Structure 1
Amino acid sequence: MLEHLDLAQLLSSYGYLALFIGCLLEGETMLLLAGLAAHQGLMGFVPVVFWACVGGTCGDQLLYWAGRRAGVRALPWLQRRGLAVERVTGLIERHPLVAIFSVRFLYGMRLAGPLLIGASRVGPLRFLLINLIGAFCWALLFASGGYWAGQVLESWLGNLKPYRLPILLGVVLLGGGFEFWRRRRSHRARPSRQ
């Protein structure tokens, strides 16, 4: 069955949609793969950066508005998940523009950060503008990383066409394994309820 899988056809048909949806959530693994696909000519580099930026911006905007609506009621929920709410809240209070820009780059704060920023009552226009700039830089950085990884792999392996599916599966497994390890580690770090 896998030998009949045409990765190029799948990417040309669904690649940008999958990238957009993946970047609504966290998306780093998906974006690295899209950068690699751009290196192979299966996707365009500029559309990869564009759709990743749009997906990342939309996802953060939704979380921001959820945080605005929930307000401080969201804080105990986030704290129970072992997130460094006080540290991020302090960063938002001291340097709101830096917090908005960098939250997508902070380990473990991609989803919680926009909620906290919304709860802190940072203005919507300010958040949108800085969020767009941050999303563009994030998309460009990770897409470039995937593109560069394609160059390195090609210099080691030569033509990557026979290796596309194993590379895809390897990156997905590594990304999934890292996410599993991260969740398990944060679960252990949470204080137990008594």
Structure 2
Amino acid sequence: MNVDHWLLTIPPVAVYLLAGAVVGLESLGIPLPGEIVLVAAAVLSSRHELAVSPHGVAIAGVLGAVIGDSIGYVVGRRYGDRLFGVLGRRFPDHVNDDVLAYARHVFSRYGMAAVFFGRFVALLRIFAGPLSGSMRMHYPRFLLANVTGAIAWAAGTTYLVYYLGTAAESWLKGFSFVGLGIALAFGITLSTLLRRHLQDNVRAYAEQRRSQEAA
């Protein structure tokens, strides 16, 4: 069975459910590749021989982001540090004291803006809901930033990738799987660069915090 034939057998609803579930779990606080899955689903929707709709992918991504963040907010508000303790034991590379301190610094300083723009950055996307809840951010303000950020990120990413994929398809006829590979490679590269930049910020903030404590 070749790749094209296998892609044709994927039920569209399975693509929507997978995209929504992974984005939702990432938004809840579990470090999963939500952005990569969303990009892959959007690329599939740009393949006109498939029945996957970009609108379905966008809606699934937005709902997953909003619901995941809202659940994360409730859990963070109720359990706070216990939740981060559990996540830290399970995902020590992603959740540790330095990362949490930097994330708290960003969210306490920028509030709603951190929730909105944090949707575009993997590390902050994971912490937006739980941290906002643990820091007792006013829920209506959180919900507004959560919904608008989810629409801008999930729907914006989906339609951008869809239109790029549609344009590329006319260039890559006979190499249909190349478009998916290029989009995924681009998404992984961009995510890696953003993650490294954020890790540098985390290290710099940790060093500054320790020097202030030692003074």
Q: Same fold (TM over 0.5)?
A: yes
Structure 1: gaps of 5 or more residues: none
Instruction: Tell me the CA shift for residue 143 of structure 1.
Output: 0.5
Conserved? CA contact 1:19–1:27, under 8 Å: yes
Q: 1:124-183 CA deviation, whole Å, 9 max, x = no partner?
A: 2322232111111111221123213313422431x3xx5444554676677679889969
Q: 1:50-105 CA deviation, whole Å, 9 max, x = no partner?
A: 1110011111122222211222455664762641x333323322331112212211
Conserved? CA contact 1:103–1:114, under 8 Å: no
1:19 and 2:19 equivalent?
yes
Give the match's secondary structure for 2:9.
helix
Partner of 2:154: 139
Cα distance change, pair 180–139 in 1 and its aligned pair in 2 (3 A): closer
* TM-score, length-scaled by structure 1: 0.74
Percent identity between matched residues is: 26
User: Could you say what the CA RMSD is over the residues aligned between the two structures, in angstroms?
Assistant: 3.4
Cα distance change, pair 11–165 in 1 and its aligned pair in 2 (3 A): farther
Cα distance change, pair 39–174 in 1 and its aligned pair in 2 (3 A): closer
Name the count of aligned residue pairs.
184
Question: Within 5 Å, which residues of 2 pair with 1:8-157?
Answer: 8-24=8-24, 25=26, 26-41=33-48, 42=50, 43-73=52-82, 77=88, 80=96, 82-83=98-99, 85-157=100-172
Q: Which stretch of structure 1 is more off in the superposition, 147-156 or 27-36?
A: 147-156
Cα distance change, pair 75–33 in 1 and its aligned pair in 2 (3 A): closer
Measure the CA separation in 2 of the matches of 1:75 and 1:3. 40
Measure the CA separation in 1 of the matches of 2:3 and 2:60. 29
Question: Within 5 Å, which residues of 2 pair with 1:162-181?
Answer: 162-165=174-177, 167-168=179-180
Cα distance change, pair 8–110 in 1 and its aligned pair in 2 (3 A): same
Partner of 2:29: none
Give the letter aligned to residue 62 of structure 1.
I
Give the letter aligned to residue 96 of structure 2.
R
* TM-score, length-scaled by structure 2: 0.67
Measure the CA separation in 2 of the matches of 1:30 and 1:153. 19
Cα distance change, pair 121–134 in 1 and its aligned pair in 2 (3 A): same
Structure 2: gaps of 5 or more residues: 27-32, 89-93, 207-215
